[in-house]
Amino acid sequence: MAHLGLQTAEGIGIVVSDIATAVTLGACPLEKRTYIVAYDDLCRENGICIPSDAYTCDVNGGQMTSATTWMGILGLMVIAIALAYKSKLAFIYGIGLVTFLSWFRGTPFTYFTDDEAGNARFDYFKKVVDVTGLDKIMTPFTSDIAGAGVALVTMLYVDFLDTSGTLLGIANELRIVDNEGNFPRSKQAFSADALATMFGSIFGLSPITSYIERGAGVRVGSKISLTAVICGFYFFLSIFFAPILASIPPWAIGGALIIVGSLMMKSLTKLKFDKVSHATSGFLTVMVMPLTYSIAYGLIAGIGTYLIMEGTFWILSLVGVEKPTDAEPEPIALGESLVGPSKIIEVDADSKHETGKGDTDEEVGVEETAKMDETAKVDMDATRE
């Protein structure tokens, strides 16, 4: 989620594409962007190269000079500061402020730029209320059973893993996950998600599934399913006010995505980092998700790594190789030396003598120790002189 908020399409545009390293620092203005094209046969043989939305700032420079990026950073800071003060309207403050400022034309950070695309967005924005026709609500069905079967299996594991990651993340944020990784009424939650996906497929929609953005609502106090009902009502209203909602710039919501992503990172503290199979699988899960733009691929990487490692440990244990220990190293006692046992001093209240026990049984008197300290002090004074 935070990776989305850092990109241009749905965020503030700090992270952009790079030919050598895949991603790099961006935030350059429109006139300095170099768009990346797909070098396919059409481009190579006929010179017809279709540019993508991905771009780099390495050619013309201008990193961190984009006004829209700095507006996104402003919204990010507003949300973070408001959250620090426990405000439940923190996300509204940040998104609302940046959106309002970006609606003014003639500014470096306006959403309605003075070009064909900007004018089209402004014309749509001026409608305020608009209802799109429903003449294409039903999806055209295919007779390609083999292709449909591949799509069915693919969407099954993708949707299942996406839903699992989302629901567990939200449940963990609600602090209702037990020690075994279960949460109350999980069967009903998965069933509702599955039914919504089946119903949406009739209308040719992408999987209607639980979205990780719900974490923002949980963070500000959402505890019951009534929140989802209210959100559904607002989505219904958005059908009529689409021109207004579609005019919220991506750099206005990028900061909110980054904040929600950072808040969900606290669940990593539950990983057993002393156990290599836990640390490795957990790290791969976290890294693969944003870099492949898929929760499912991240879960596959993490779960697969864990099963391979634990399976290998089990097979080796059958031939007499002990499994790696998960025990933490014993803490060093106060006063204990790393190179050997320390010298324990016992003081006899009557004799005023100290007995050193450790490497030797030598007894050192308090008076002798005092003389040694005094000698050392004299030596130090002489050195200073």
CA proximity to 12, closest of 54, 73, 53: 73
Please say if the pLDDT value at position 331 is more than 60. no
Say which residues have a Cβ less than 8 Å from residue 43's Cβ, sequence separation at least 6. Answer: 37, 49, 50
Q: Which segments of 140-275 does DSSP mark as H helices, in order?
A: 145-174, 186-202, 214-219, 226-238, 242-245, 250-264
Please say if the pLDDT value at position 370 is more than 80. no
Percent of the residues in the chain that have a pLDDT greater than 70, as a whole number = 80
pLDDT tens digits for range 25-58? 999 998 999 998 888 888 888 888 888 888 999 8
Residue 312: predicted pLDDT: 95
What does the alpha-carbon distance between residue 2 and residue 264 come to, in Å, rounded to a whole number? 10
Residue 23 CB burial class (10 angstroms; 0-12, 13-18, ≥19)? middle
Q: Pairing between strand 353-357 and 344-347?
A: antiparallel
Q: Which two tokens stand for residue 205?
A: 């929609």
> Dihedral angle at the C-alpha atoms of 301, 303, 306, 310, nearest 10 degrees?
-140
Residue 213: predicted pLDDT: 67
Residue 329: predicted pLDDT: 55
CB-based contact 219:173 (threshold 8 Å): yes
pLDDT band, very low/low/confident/very high, at 326 (cuts 50, 70, 90): low
Contacts 24+ apart (CB under 8 A), 221-230: 221/88, 223/174
- By mean pLDDT, which of 9-13, 205-209, 238-242, 311-315 is the weakest? 205-209
Burial pattern 117-133, b for ≥16 Cβ within 10 A else e, equals eeeebbebeeeeeeeee
What does the alpha-carbon distance between residue 345 and residue 364 come to, in Å, rounded to a whole number? 9
3-state secondary structure of 47: coil
Residue 223: predicted pLDDT: 72
Say which residues have a Cβ less than 8 Å from residue 149's Cβ, sequence separation at least 6. Answer: none
3-state secondary structure of 2: helix
More confident call, 230 vs 325 = 230
Number of neighbours of residue 4 by Cβ within 10 angstroms: 20
pLDDT tens digits for range 176-194? 888 777 888 888 888 888 8
Please say if the pLDDT value at position 78 is more than 90. yes
Report CA torsion sign: 158, 162, 163, 165. positive
Residue 339 DSSP label = S
Please say if the pLDDT value at position 338 is more than 70. no
pLDDT tens digits for range 287-319? 998 888 887 788 889 999 999 999 999 999 999
What does the alpha-carbon distance between residue 334 and residue 304 come to, in Å, rounded to a whole number? 42
C-alpha separations of 50 from 23, 90, 287 in Å? 21, 41, 30
Residue 215 CB burial class (10 angstroms; 0-12, 13-18, ≥19)? buried
pLDDT tens digits for range 221-271? 777 778 878 888 988 888 889 899 999 999 999 999 999 888 878 778 878
Q: Which two tokens stand for residue 255?
A: 């900061």
What does the alpha-carbon distance between residue 3 and residue 289 come to, in Å, rounded to a whole number? 9
CB-based contact 249:111 (threshold 8 Å): yes
Q: What angle do CA 290, 292, 293 make, to 5 degrees?
A: 60
Please provide the distance, in angstroms rounded to a whole number, between the alpha carbons at the two ends of the chain. Answer: 66
Report the pLDDT averaged over residues 66-95.
94
